[in-house]
């Protein structure tokens, strides 16, 4: 799994345009707490936590999201070779915590999904 490649790197920073677009696709899905998470995203900083593109969030302040599950929404996309790439949005204590990106077959992600290629799935 991608968890074997976890290497938190550097200080927290602003999201790139692509990172923000991917999270925005997930937060556009209809689920409890999505509005509060969208507001948190406006204050979010991130840092890379693995070589697959996963991110750890630092929010600082923002409304608490009343989500039902730790992972209220997931994105799916195809990697360059057709393997399924998952993007799980983790929420802890009502705050954005992590975007976990990994391939279904546990190999390294070849191409981080573009927002336009993603499909959001609500649990």
Q: Tell me how far CA of residue 19 lies from CA of 54, 70, 101, in angstroms.
A: 10, 20, 11
Sequence-ordered list of residues with C-beta below 8 angstroms from that of 75, at least 6 positions apart, any chain: 22, 25, 26, 86, 87, 88, 89, 113, 118, 119, 120, 121
With bands split at pLDDT 50, 70 and 90, how would you rate the model's confidence at 3? very low
- Tell me how far apart the alpha carbons of residues 35 and 3 are, in angstroms, rounded to a whole number: 29
Sequence-ordered list of residues with C-beta below 8 angstroms from that of 115, at least 6 positions apart, any chain: 18, 21, 22, 24, 25
Residue 5 has pLDDT above 60, yes or no: no
pTM of the model: 0.92
């Amino acid at each position: 799994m991608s968890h074997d490649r976890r290497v938190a790197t550097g200080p927290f920073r602003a999201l790139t345009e692509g990172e923000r677009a991917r999270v925005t696709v997930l937060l556009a899905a209809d689920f409890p707490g999505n509005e509060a998470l969208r507001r948190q995203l406006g204050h979010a900083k991130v840092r890379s936590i693995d070589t697959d593109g996963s991110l750890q969030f630092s929010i600082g302040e923002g409304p608490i999201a009343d989500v039902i599950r730790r992972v209220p929404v997931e994105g799916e996309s195809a990697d360059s070779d057709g393997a399924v790439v998952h993007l799980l949005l983790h929420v802890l204590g009502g705050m954005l915590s992590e975007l976990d990106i990994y391939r279904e077959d546990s190999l390294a992600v070849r191409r981080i999904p573009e927002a336009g290629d993603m499909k959001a799935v609500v649990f």
